[in-house]
Amino acid sequence: MSDMTFERMIQQMTPAIYQSLKQAVSLRKWPDGRMLTREQTELCLEAVMRYEVENQVPESERVGYLERRTCGGASSGANVDPALAGLARDAGRD
């Protein structure tokens, strides 16, 4: 019987395995094309996330990272012409 635990697997995971698991979760399939089951997806995602914490992967490179934007910033669309934003007319007045 193997004494490999989930914790030990994370500790021994190489960067190449991490990248492979991250890609498998993203595409929902293994490198050979077989689809991941729901359970496999969950386990792979947990392994990826735990690897990122254990190896201090920068937050901006972690799975699920969303860039924070401030309200009213240039990238928020605050300076977009209402006609281009689809807000030029009141839809309730047709």
> DSSP characters for the chain?
-----HHHHHHH--HHHHHHHHHHHHHTB-TTSPBPPHHHHHHHHHHHHHHHHHTT--GGGSTT------TT-GGGTTTS-TTTTT-SS-GGG-
Structural domain span for residue 43: 6-63
pLDDT at position 61 is 86
Is residue 75 a part of any domain in this protein?
Answer: no
| pLDDT tens per residue, range 9-25 | 899 999 999 999 999 99
Q: Tell me the C-alpha distance between 41 and 32, whole Å.
A: 15
Percentage of the chain exceeding pLDDT 70: 70
Residue 76 falls inside a structural domain: no
Separation CA 10–CA 65 (nearest Å):
20
Is residue 1 a part of any domain in this protein? no
In a domain, 45, yes or no: yes
Number of domains in the chain: 1
Model pLDDT, residue 1: 42
In a domain, 33, yes or no: yes
11 or 70: which carries more pLDDT confidence? 11
Residue 70 lies in a domain: no
| pLDDT score for 66 | 81
